[in-house]
Amino acid sequence: MSTFTLIDETRPVTVDATVRPDGVRLAPAAVERALGWTLKPEGLCRGPLCIPARGIVDADGVDLAGLAHTLGRPLALDADAGAAALGASAAERSAQLESLEAPDFTLPDVHGTPHTLSQYRGRKVFLLAYASW
C-alpha cells in the first residue's frame, strides 16, 4: 500500500493504492471516497445506476485501468510517480455540447473573486478564451 494521488478531472484526492507490475489497485472505499462509485454485488453503483464490474476486482482492490474502462473515462497513469488522472469522456463532453446548453463553470477573476457562467442568465454573454502564449 502506498500513497497515491487520483485526479478526478481537476480535483486531486489522496488515496491508498497497491502498485503492482500489472497495474494499480485501489481499495473499494477509496473509489467511493474519491469518485462517488460504490462497489456492490451488482457492480459499480452511483445513485440508481449500476455498471457491471466483472474482472476488475481482486483481493488488492479495484484495478484502476479496469475502473476507467468500465466508467468510459480516459485515464492517464504514472504508477512510478504515484499519480493518475481520470478525465471526462468524449461522449459526455459531446452530449453536453450537442444539447447547445452552454456548459457551466466557476472560475476566479484576477482578484480571486469566483464567477459562475450561469450567474449571467438574463444577459447575452460573449465568452472569449485567450492566453499569454
Partner 1 sequence: MSPHGLVVLTVALDRSAGDARPWIEAAGATHPSLIDTDHVVADRYRIINVPTSVWIDEVGRIVRPNDAAFGSDQFVDMTGVPSGPHLEALRAWATTGRLPFDASEVRRRQVLPTPEEQLARTEFALAWHLHRAGDTEAAERHFIRAGELAPHDFTIRRGSMPIRGLDPMGPDFAPMFMEWIEAGRPYYGPRK
For partner 1, which is the closer residue by CB, 54 or 123? 123
Output the smallest distance, CB 19 to partner 1, in A: 14
Give SS3 for 32. helix
Query: From CA 62, how far away is CA 111, in angstroms rounded?
Result: 42
For partner 1, which is the closer residue by CB, 56 or 84? 84
Give the residues lining the site for partner 1 (CB under 8 A). Answer: 5, 7, 9-10, 12, 74-78, 80-81, 83-90, 93-94, 96-98, 100-105, 107-110, 115, 117-118, 120-133
Query: From CA 118, how far away is CA 91, in angstroms rounded?
Result: 23
Query: 477573476: which residue's cell?
Result: 109
Structure letter (DSSP) for residue 42: T
For partner 1, which is the closer residue by CB, 36 or 119? 119
For partner 1, which is the closer residue by CB, 22 or 130? 130
Output the smallest distance, CB 9 to partner 1, in A: 7
Hey, CA dihedral for 19, 24, 28, 30, is it positive or negative? Answer: positive
